[in-house]
Amino acid sequence: MDITLVKYIEDDFDSFKRMVSDEETMRFITGIVWTEDDARLQFDAMLQMNTQQEKLGFFKVVNQKNEFIGNCSLEYYKYDAAILEIGYVLKREFWRMGYGTAILQQLVYKANNSYPNMDVIAIIDPENEASKKLLCKNGFESYFRGMEDGKFSEKFILKNLHAD
């Protein structure tokens, strides 16, 4: 599966906004679609982080036809900067085509190359069976299920294989 992760730029806002405005796409992300104002606030914060970190950030995902197919991120986990957190969202018309696996593998590769001694986590909606299967298939293990930031979530971890 040939995909490319490219840091967002201002011109990508409309593609991002359309994705986060889709109810089915957002069902397991926030549970609600985002307004244009919500999308703009999040997008501006993502652009800001992209300027602050060379190897971390928020990326648009494009396929071999250069179509915008989703969003992903690699950042420090907000409660422990010794851990990296990944995230991903696919536009629903690209579900069940192997793109999720390709995105996850590229994020893990990027994490291991840039920060070889750090564990990687993913936080998902516990009802998102597709993400659970994807994470487990790629070596992640569930280690937490409960409330965090007022939202029921499940955390998966990929332990660093390079740690001493």
Task: Please state, in angstroms and as integers, the Cα–Cα distance from residue 75 to each residue in 72, 79, 86, 136, 161, following that order.
Answer: 10, 11, 7, 20, 19
Q: Tokens 């420090």 — which residue? A: 76
Residues 6+ apart with CB under 8 A from 125: 28, 29, 31, 131, 152, 153, 154
CA-based end-to-end distance of the chain: 33
Structure tokens at 94: 């690209």
Read off the pLDDT of each residue in 8-26 and give the average, rounded to a whole number: 91
pTM over 0.85: yes
Convert the pLDDT of each residue in 99-148 to its tens digit: 999 999 999 999 999 999 999 999 999 999 999 999 999 999 999 999 98
Convert the pLDDT of each residue in 58-95 to its tens digit: 999 999 999 999 999 999 999 999 999 999 999 999 99
**Does residue 161 surpass a pLDDT of 80?**
no
Rounded CA-CA distance 30/89 in Å is: 11
Rounded CA-CA distance 5/15 in Å is: 15
Please give the domain boundaries of the chain with CATH numbers for all domains: 3-158 (3.40.630.30)
Mean per-residue pLDDT over the chain, rounded: 92
Residue length, the chain? 164
Write down the H helix ranges in 7-162. 13-20, 23-26, 36-52, 99-114, 129-137
Rounded CA-CA distance 27/53 in Å is: 29
